[in-house]
Amino acid sequence: MKRVVASVALAVSLAQSGPAVFAQTVSDQCFAIGDIAGQVASWRAHKKTKEEALAQAKKYYTDDADRQAVIDIIDKIYGTNGPVMTPDQASMRFTEDCAKRQKDQASKQ
């Protein structure tokens, strides 16, 4: 009987904490934004067109906020008139920008 109660209690606590984990999107996670920026910069360096990158984003990112974050990254990386960023440069820049934006939002609350 004690095992059943413990199992049910564990299942309930996991079920309650589960949705919060899955509710977080890519656009909320700065390291993910940096990783995506690095990937997009790699696509550009390997001659993938902006249209191909946008098609990739539409295919793999179904969450509206995530898709918009990826499209913004694509627009910035492909819209660069200066030297092409390396994947590492893009990753660091977008991670830093995201962290600053989150810090500014937190300080306003």
pLDDT tens, residue by residue, 66-88: 889 899 899 989 986 667 788 99
Contacts of residues 56-63 at CB distance under 8 Å and 24 or more positions apart, as own/partner, are 61/26, 63/25, 63/26, 63/27
The model scores a pTM over 0.95: no
Q: What's the Cα-to-Cα distance from 18 to each of 6, 11, 30, 33, rounded to whole Å?
A: 18, 10, 21, 23
Domain boundaries, the chain: 25-108
pLDDT, tens digit, 9 for 90 and up, residues 5-54: 444 444 444 444 444 444 456 777 888 999 999 999 998 989 999 999 99
How far apart (Å, rounded) are the C-alpha atoms in residues 53 and 44? 9
